[in-house]
Structure 1
Amino acid sequence: MRPGHHEGRYGPVTETERQRQIITMLETRPFATVRELIDMLSVSPATVRRDIEKLHEAGEARKVFGGVASLTAASRTHALPFAQSSDLAVDAKRAIAAMAADLCRDGDMVMVAGGSTCHQLGLRLAGRSIGLYTNSMPLAAALGTHGACQLSVAGGALHREPGILYDPQAAAPDFFASRLFLGAQGLGLEGVMESHPLLPVATRPMLERADDVIVLADSRKLSVRARFVSCPIDRVSTLITDDGVQEDDVRILEDAGVTVLVAPVAAWRADDKT
């Protein structure tokens, strides 16, 4: 078979034809994973990655962690407000939060950052005998009303779009945590990514006061690239995600030294009584 040709489901498929099929796929959806393209094109992972690289170099699509994104999706870096984000992938977020809560023991001191998945974790820890520090205004309000844990809240002005409290003049919090649970708009080998410029700045003081960083991110987030890195990948000890995550993405993160825990959403949905 000539170079650039591969046997597809319906006979030989040229490199140009494969790439055209990828672009057509991206016209109806924002992202495609390497695994999905392997199945669609019936070619090897190496061939798919070469095609993605060429589309990226040609400016026809954007190479992202574990796959390829349409240019429209790749340029969409504005984070949703907390209330809207809370309505997305709810079962996955609750399954992730349940697994994260199981890592906490009575007497622990933990930090829970802003974001809808971290919010679900905070609600699960509300009645636990732990010390909990947060910069999330929605979580602080919920725990202040309904929680029994020892609650510490970041000071400063309320920034409504990301939903956090932050004071640029304040020193690092007088709170030392065994774990910092951190949400993400996007996640890749660069680290935890956010589109709001305040979030990396507000995260930095918490990183200085936590032993381990555990990222809570549903599998959609591994296809998102945002503008600002709030936590480098070498600072992340663990990612908890849902079972929609691609095996290629898990392998890449594990190769980078990150422990990946996968929460089975269907099993959680069947077992959860809350």
Structure 2
Amino acid sequence: MAKSSLHASERDARILQEVRQQPLVTVQELSDKIGSSLATVRRDLTRLANSGLIVRVHGGARLPDPPSLKGQSNVSSSSQLNVGAKQAIARHASSLCTVGDSIIIDGGSTTNAMCEYLPKSGLQILTSSFVIAEQLIRQTENRVILPGGELYRQQGVILSPYDEPSVSNYFASTLFMGARGISESGLRQSDPLLVRVEKMLIEQAEQVVVLADHSKFSNKGNLRCCKLESINILVTDRNPPLQIKRALLEAGVEIMLAPALSVLK
């Protein structure tokens, strides 16, 4: 059988999909299903195991014992806050996507909620968040691209440890991202690693859409991720405080309101 020439990120996504569907998957089964050689599959499994995404066993692989990612716990905890607002924001942001788009989704509890509302197929999605990639693989048939690099478990992101950005050749129509805080000076973050990821992703998109509920209008986060001028659209559940709203409008940011609903289906 002729072997395929899938990129490593595509093979990783296919392997993870297969591993989640059964308790144990063999190297031979993976080779047959993704069309790669046994040697290539073994190398892929070793790389995924070193990142903590799977557990290597004799002749194959299985999922790690839960919980497998601290990043998942962080997202799950944050997801319990302002649930109705985050769902409404995510649903509205998802409506900005059309079939055929190439998009980027940054990690976060609100962006994670987008997975439920995106078109089920026809999108090409780059994400540095393993948690979001996992959701997309499970819930949609969209093409999912993960950057090469190391999995940082606490943040749940994949990032190249080298200076050369692993996504420098990927360009998207839209980046969807969250924020720790939003002030007149820009988007705030508290984790230098996440700032590095987000600065890198902003450079690869034609427009930037920020998803943030009303609790983010503050000075939370001691690091500035970007200036307000880098943002094209803010999707939120309430009008920002006057000073922040004025700064957003002066920076040319379009504010889209998606009021929270008590129950969203």
TM-score (norm 1): 0.65
Report the more deviating stretch, 163-172 or 225-234. 163-172
Residue deviations 1:80-111 (CA, integer Å, cap 9, x gap): 92221111111100000111011111111110
Deviation at 1:208, TM superposition (A): 1.6
Per residue, is there more strand in 1 or in 2?
A: 1
**Aligned partners of 1:234, 1:192: CA distance in 2, in Å?**
10
Question: Is the partner of 1:265 in helix, strand or coil?
Answer: coil
Question: Structure 2: any 5+ residue segments left out of the alignment?
Answer: 1-72
Q: Which residue of 2 aligns with 1:91?
A: 84
> Which among 140, 148, 155 is matched to residue 148 of structure 2?
155
Cα deviation, residue 250, structure 1 = 2.6
Deviation digits for residues 163-222 of structure 1 (CA, Å, limit 9, x no counterpart): 211113142413210100111000112211110110111122211210101110111000
Q: Within the alignment, does 1:133 sit opposite 2:123 as a pair?
A: no
Q: Is residue 171 from structure 1 mapped to residue 165 from structure 2 by the alignment?
A: yes
- The question of whether the paired residues in 2 share the 8 Å contact of 1:172 and 1:209 is answered with no
Counterparts of residues 174-253 of structure 1 (less than 5 Å)? 174-243=169-238, 245-253=240-248
C-alpha spacing 1:126/1:116, structure 2 compared with 1 (3 Å): farther
Counterpart of 1:171, as a letter, is P
Structure 2 contact 234–254 (Cα < 8 Å) conserved: yes
**% identical aligned pairs:** 33
SS at match of 2:232: strand
Query: CA shift at 1:125, angstroms?
Result: 1.8
Q: Note the C-alpha offset of 1:244.
A: 6.2
Deviations, residues 124-181 of structure 1 (Å, cap 9, x unaligned): 2261311111011111112223321111112222212222111131424132101001
| TM superposition score normalised by structure 2 | 0.67
Matched residues in 1 for 2:227 and 2:144: separation? 27
For residues 231 and 168 of structure 1, the distance between their equivalents in structure 2, rounded to whole angstroms, comes to 22
Please tell me whether the aligned partners of residues 82 and 161 of structure 1 are also in contact (alpha carbons under 8 angstroms): no
Secondary structure (helix, strand or coil) at the match of 1:81 reads: helix
Moved over 3 A (4+): 244-249
State which of 98, 123, 127 in structure 2 corresponds to 1:105.
98
Q: Secondary structure at the match of 2:217?
A: helix
